[in-house]
Amino acid sequence: MPAGGGESWRADWRADAACVGENLEVFFPLGDQATHHALSNQAKEICARCPVMATCRAWALRTSPEFGIFGGLTAHERRLVREGRWSGQGPRRASRTDAA
């Protein structure tokens, strides 16, 4: 589990996530472009109401999972954040600075 950086990390933060009990296929969308887009939007809606979204996003930015939606960001969006090219479009509960 990530630690350090002055944040208060709880080992069990995932237990509080809004995605617990949701269909994991939503967070790892496959299929044609329309299906992928629809599932990605559904995942981001779940993330937007998640009480641990900022923690999840920070974890994903630190660990760089190759696939999936974490903290309301796709793998591509996380790469843009890490490169400093994120436009800021996405769930508003957490921001780029939450993971810094």
Binding site: residue ranges?
Answer: 19, 47, 50, 56
**One-letter amino acid identity for 72?**
G
Q: Which helix H or strand E contains 16, and what residues bound it?
A: none
Half-sphere CA count of 97, side-chain side, radius 13 A: 0
Give SS3 for 73: strand
| Residues making up the binding site for [4Fe-4S] cluster | 19, 47, 50, 56
Say which residue the tokens 């992928």 belong to. Answer: 36
Find out whether 72 and 91 touch, Cβ atoms under 8 Å. yes
